[in-house]
Amino acid sequence: MTNILEVKGLTTSFLRSGNWTPVVHGIDFQVKRGETLAVVGESGSGKSVTALSVMRLLPPRTSRVEGSIKLGGDELLDRSEAEMRGIRGNRVAMIFQEPMTSLNPLMPVGEQIREAIMLHRNVSLAEAKALALDMLDKVRIPSAAKRYGEIPHQFSGGMRQRVMIAMALACKPELIIADEPTTALDVTIQAQILELLRDLREEEDMSVLFITHDMGVVAEIADRVMVMQNGSLVEEAEVRQLFRAPAASYTRTLLEAVPVVGSMAGKDAPEAFKASTFKVPPSPRPAHDAPLLDVKGLTIRFDVRSGLFERVSARVHAVENVSFSIGRGETLALVGESGSGKSTIGRTLVGLANCLRGEIRVAGEKEGSLCRTIEERRQRVQMIFQDPYASLDPRLRIGRALTEPLRIRGVSERDALEQAAELMRLVRLSPDMLKRFPHEFSGGQRQRICIARALSVKPALLIADEAVSALDVSIKAQIIDLMLELQQELDLSYLFISHDMAVVERLSHRVAVMYLGEIVEMGSRRNVFENPQHPYTRRLLQAVPVPDPERRMRRSLTVDEIHSPIRTKDFIPPVRRMITVSPGHVVQQWEMA
Amino acid sequence: MLTQVLKTLAHSVISLFLLFTFVFFMIRIMPGDPARLLGGAGASDYDVQTLRESLGLDRSVMEQFLIFVRNVAQGDFGRSIQTGQPVGAEILTALAWSFSLVTAAMLLAIAFAVPAGVVAAVKRNRLPDISLTSIAVASTSLPAFWLALILIEVFSVNLRLLPSGGTGDLRNYILPTVVLAATQVGLITRMTRASVVEVLTADYVRTARAKGVHPYRILLRHVLVNAAAPTVTVVGLQTGLVLAGSIVTETIFNWPGVGRLLIRAVQARDYPMIQALILVFGVAMVTFNLLADLLNMLIDPRLRKK
């Protein structure tokens, strides 16, 4: 097979405070015709910089690309900027990570594809339009002709990514560079996009440079894999070879840190990644103990107002008649995709959102509250959020951030600082760091600080809203282990809100699957994962990419959208019946399609 | 979209009423008696009292207010205390003069500031940016009266190229237009620069570059439209403000606009004229802001609610 892309000794440096600092250190690789080469690595590994170097899209003033990049035999580094413009979008095209921001919000999607065609093909306006329309059809956008003139705002994330792919494919490039194209998407949508990419690769005989951090995605789509770390090539191998017998120790660490759906089959208890260090007991408490948190019939709706007098025109049925409980020392995972209402439940439990109906009761409270948050509960229920970068006040020293919850509760400055030092040790950070600002910490360290801050008021229940989703795999594993250890030490309960089925499988005792504001299935983790009943649970589990190229499977290609929980004003939610599958495992009765 | 406009209008009517009420009572707290000023130094107390009664100023303030609100609702703003003419007609003439001057000034300001802002953004932190931004800010920082006097000194007195004031022909527009435009250039340049800088780093601009689009085309088709909103808003806001606030420029250049009219009315405690002018200024503010909002909705369909 011929090489479409041949990269030799690629070194990319950035100008940082007057010095040229290399971030990619002389790497070699090739992409053969019709092949998909996956580039994997954690943040800062230089994988995106490599892609932008090939495209020559880095700012010329502050970056320098050296070595050799040959596309179909032509040296790209010798090309002038004007010549590169003729190559970009024509012979090599790129798909970016963020479908929500990567399309011009004010230009109709069809026009954005047409623009690419007219730049590189000598066709008339009408012909270009027809070609653009063909492309929309090709990426399976339903009623493409009608949607040609719509702006990106009217498309969902998955549909926007289809538009991006159509745009990249429009001029039939020799090479497609896809930079984390599915990372921002929900798992069922990710499965659709991966499927589409695989189909198109066969139809169009594309060569793909696929950048990702997700080993599951690699296993699904790659022919060959190159692993990068700190700007260097660690290992390059055929995909099966890499997963079966990784040569480099870094690859092994990376693969070990990947949570795999199904890897916990047959086990009852959550398990730490460093399983040797400590064991988690299967069931923390006998079932007849009073639960720590009891939620009954929780219903949360938001009004959509419009018109001159702001009359309610529709309602978002964010959470509909949801009941669950969490025992002491237990982890309940709330899984679901965007718009399923899982985060809204978390926010309501700490009083950040109001509910319409329902009862929330935390053990020890004299009476349960009907949709009101009492101050006492704020102390017993704490929350950690997804983005450790945005969750800490950048101008507040860590010491101040950690002691704030204590100080507002009347703890003296000295006692609070002492406790803060203790908290730092608890999350395995040095108390010496208390004087530092958030920007001096890495993402993983910041998430530890967020956990410490939540623990400062000695809560019984921690709500973790996608708390590890933004972290690199190895860091993710460390934080999960920390959470499991803390659970043991402090007898904590967790409400773990996540879309990541593999992580959920690792650390939860019980799982509740949410779809459009309702719990469709709930039971012990083992039952839900090993014996899923509801079609949605099955679809969700099936959509998760398995980090094992031997188990690669084709899924039926659908263009389902995630439905919206926005209903008309007079919508009356149907009465649901829960069926008991086995003790503790319930599923919502569904209609056969 | 229509409901949005109606909603804005409804809000505007409320704020205009509050503004007007406030002004009505404030000018009556102001020291000075219009009747005594109108009567002149030689008027007897009796004459002044007769004048006061004929103007309706002997009634209680509350009563005056209610009468005025009723008249305004019927489109009657009263007669000027100074001239006895209906204030509406006088204001309309002055407004036409002011409006033409402000339009010319804003167009001139935009013609300089928008390209300057775009160039500054593209070449940010380099020489073109530093020089253009400095010129823009410097011109705004010059006091209008000082700039006006310098320009008159140079172009009218020394070079004898342009008239120093009044309203003869188009040449009379040049100096006041330049002075007014100068006051606006800094803000519009900064605004344009800031929003273009932001859009230039947007993901979709990178997408356009990855498609192989020429930088000029990226600027025209992808950047400018997306960066327009803040500049449009500021221009709308400033047009309203300049219309009401060109008092110094109009006075220096002897321009028969609303600014000069206001100064005279205040000096004579001409209550009906002041009240009507304030109301006009309020309406102007609301109108230009509304126009800016509408223009933004036209550019960006996302702002139109269904």
Q: Residue A368's pLDDT is what? A: 61
Q: How close is the nearest chain B Cα to the Cα of A61, in Å?
A: 12
Q: Is residue A287 part of a domain?
A: no
Token pair recorded at residue A538: 């099955």
| Nearest chain B residue to A153, by CA | B302
Q: Residue B55's pLDDT is what? A: 79
Query: What is the arrangement of strands in the sheet containing A63-71, beginning at the earlier edge strand?
Result: A19-32, A3-16, A63-71, A74-75
> Which residues from A are below 8 Å from B207, CB to CB?
94, 96, 102-104, 164, 167
Q: Is residue A276 part of a domain?
A: no
Asked if B204's CB is within 8 angstroms of A101's CB, the reply is: yes
- The CATH number for A323's domain is 3.40.50.300
Please tell me if residue A62 touches chain B, with a CB cutoff of 8 Å. no
Q: Is residue A273 part of a domain?
A: no
Q: What is the pLDDT of residues B237-255, one digit of tens each?
A: 999 999 988 889 999 999 9
Q: How close is the nearest chain B Cα to the Cα of A201, in Å?
A: 20
Whether residue A582 sits in one domain with residue A513: yes
Q: Give the pLDDT mean for A230-248.
A: 94
Q: Is residue A226 part of a domain?
A: yes
Choose one of A229, A257, A285: the last residue of a domain: A257
Residue with tokens 């006061």: B52
Asked if B226's CB is within 8 angstroms of A104's CB, the reply is: yes
Asked if A306's CB is within 8 angstroms of B306's CB, the reply is: yes
> Which H or E run contains A240?
helix A239-244
Asked if B3's CB is within 8 angstroms of A96's CB, the reply is: no
In chain B, where the domains are located? 2-73, 87-303
Contact A407, A482 (CB under 8 A): no
Of B10, B203, B212, the CB nearest to A90: B212
Asked if A107's CB is within 8 angstroms of B222's CB, the reply is: yes
Give the mean pLDDT of chain B.
Answer: 90
The listed range with the strongest mean pLDDT (A320-324, A379-383, B80-84) is: A320-324
Q: Is residue A486 part of a domain?
A: yes
- Enumerate residues 6+ apart whose C-beta is below 8 A from A68: A6, A7, A8, A9, A10, A75, A77
Whether residue A237 sits in one domain with residue A304: no
Q: Residue A374's pLDDT is what? A: 66
Asked if B6's CB is within 8 angstroms of A115's CB, the reply is: no
Scan residues 276-315 of A and list those with Cβ closer than 8 Å to B.
306-308
Q: How close is the nearest chain A Cα to the Cα of B118, in Å?
A: 19
CATH code given to domain B87-303: 1.10.3720.10
Whether residue A77 sits in one domain with residue A215: yes
Taking CA atoms, B132 is separated from A429, B125, B194, in Å, by 50, 11, 14
Return the closest-CA partner of residue A465 out of A296, A590, A352, A318: A352
Instruction: Give the model's confidence band at B197: pLDDT under 50 very low, under 70 low, under 90 confident, else very high.
Output: very high
**Is 80 exceeded by the pLDDT of residue A68?**
yes
Asked if A164's CB is within 8 angstroms of B207's CB, the reply is: yes
Instruction: Give the model's confidence band at A279: pLDDT under 50 very low, under 70 low, under 90 confident, else very high.
Output: low
User: Which residue did the predictor score with more confidence, A81 or B55?
Assistant: A81
Q: What is the pLDDT of residues A514-531, one digit of tens each?
A: 998 999 999 999 999 999
| Nearest chain A residue to B123, by CA | A61
**Percent of chain B at pLDDT exceeding 90:** 53
Q: How close is the nearest chain A Cα to the Cα of B276, in Å?
A: 29
Q: Is residue A413 part of a domain?
A: no
**Is 90 exceeded by the pLDDT of residue A36?**
yes
Q: Give the pLDDT mean for B36-57.
A: 82
List the beta bridge partners of residue A15: A20
> Which residues from B are below 8 Å from A115, CB to CB?
211, 213, 221
Q: Is residue A253 part of a domain?
A: yes
Whether residue A307 sits in one domain with residue A230: no
Per-residue burial over A440-476, b = 16 or more CB atoms within 10 Å of its CB, e = otherwise: ebebbbbbbbbbbbbbbbebbbbbbbbbbebbbbbbb
Instruction: Give the model's confidence band at B305: pLDDT under 50 very low, under 70 low, under 90 confident, else very high.
Output: low
Number of domains comprising chain A: 2
Scan residues 152-191 of B and list those with Cβ closer than 8 Å to A.
none
Q: Give the pLDDT mean for A26-50.
A: 92
**Is 70 exceeded by the pLDDT of residue A1?**
no
The three-class DSSP label of residue A468 is: coil
Token pair recorded at residue A244: 């079966």
Instruction: Give the model's confidence band at A370: pLDDT under 50 very low, under 70 low, under 90 confident, else very high.
Output: low
> Which residues from A are below 8 Å from B305, CB to CB?
306
> Which residues from A are below 8 Å from B213, CB to CB?
85, 89, 115, 119
Choose one of A257, A276, A305: the last residue of a domain: A257
Q: Residue B61's pLDDT is what? A: 85
Of B206, B207, B305, the CB nearest to A306: B305
Q: Residue B42's pLDDT is what? A: 79
Q: Is residue A552 part of a domain?
A: yes
Q: Residue B134's pLDDT is what? A: 94
**Is 60 exceeded by the pLDDT of residue B30?**
yes
Q: Residue B10's pLDDT is what? A: 87
Q: Give the pLDDT mean for B276-280.
A: 89
**Is 60 exceeded by the pLDDT of residue A64?**
yes
Q: Give the pLDDT mean for A557-572.
A: 75
> Which residues from A are below 8 Å from B206, CB to CB?
57, 96, 102
Asked if B210's CB is within 8 angstroms of A93's CB, the reply is: yes
Instruction: Give the model's confidence band at A276: pLDDT under 50 very low, under 70 low, under 90 confident, else very high.
Output: low
> Which H or E run contains B263?
helix B258-267
Amino acid type, A136: L
Q: At what angle do helices A413-426 and A398-407 cross, to 10 degrees?
A: 120
Asked if B204's CB is within 8 angstroms of A105's CB, the reply is: yes
Instruction: Give the model's confidence band at A288: pLDDT under 50 very low, under 70 low, under 90 confident, else very high.
Output: low
**Is 60 exceeded by the pLDDT of residue A277?**
no
**Is 60 exceeded by the pLDDT of residue A557?**
no
Instruction: Give the model's confidence band at B60: pLDDT under 50 very low, under 70 low, under 90 confident, else very high.
Output: confident
Q: Give the pLDDT mean for A533-552.
A: 87
Q: For residues A57 and A568, what is the distance between their CA atoms, to the nearest angstrom? A: 47
Instruction: Give the model's confidence band at A284: pLDDT under 50 very low, under 70 low, under 90 confident, else very high.
Output: low
User: Which residue did the predictor score with more confidence, A492 or A262?
Assistant: A492
Best mutation target among B1, B211, B220 (most A Cβ atoms within 10 Å) is B211
Q: What is the pLDDT of residues A141-195, one digit of tens each?
A: 888 899 999 999 888 888 999 999 999 999 999 999 999 998 888 888 888 889 8
Instruction: Give the model's confidence band at A102: pLDDT under 50 very low, under 70 low, under 90 confident, else very high.
Output: very high
Please tell me if residue A109 touches chain B, with a CB cutoff of 8 Å. no
Taking CA atoms, B244 is separated from A201, A542, B232, B247, B283, in Å, by 64, 67, 19, 8, 11
Asked if A102's CB is within 8 angstroms of B203's CB, the reply is: yes
Whether residue A185 sits in one domain with residue A92: yes
Instruction: Give the model's confidence band at B68: pLDDT under 50 very low, under 70 low, under 90 confident, else very high.
Output: confident
User: Which residue did the predictor score with more confidence, A47 or B3?
Assistant: A47
Which structural domain range is residue A558 located in? 293-395+437-588
Q: How close is the nearest chain A Cα to the Cα of B218, in Å?
A: 11
Report chain A's C-alpha Rg in angstroms.
26
Give the mean pLDDT of chain A.
Answer: 88
Please tell me if residue B302 touches chain A, with a CB cutoff of 8 Å. yes
Q: What is the pLDDT of residues A428-467, one digit of tens each?
A: 999 999 999 998 888 889 999 999 999 998 999 999 998 8
Q: Give the pLDDT mean for A207-218.
A: 92
Best mutation target among B11, B207, B217, B219 (most A Cβ atoms within 10 Å) is B207
> Which residues from B are below 8 Å from A87, CB to CB?
212
**Is 80 exceeded by the pLDDT of residue B225?**
yes
Please tell me if residue A403 touches chain B, with a CB cutoff of 8 Å. no
**Is 80 exceeded by the pLDDT of residue A499?**
yes
**Is 90 exceeded by the pLDDT of residue A69?**
yes
User: Which residue did the predictor score with more confidence, B291 or B40?
Assistant: B291
CA torsion sign for A72, A76, A79, A84 is positive
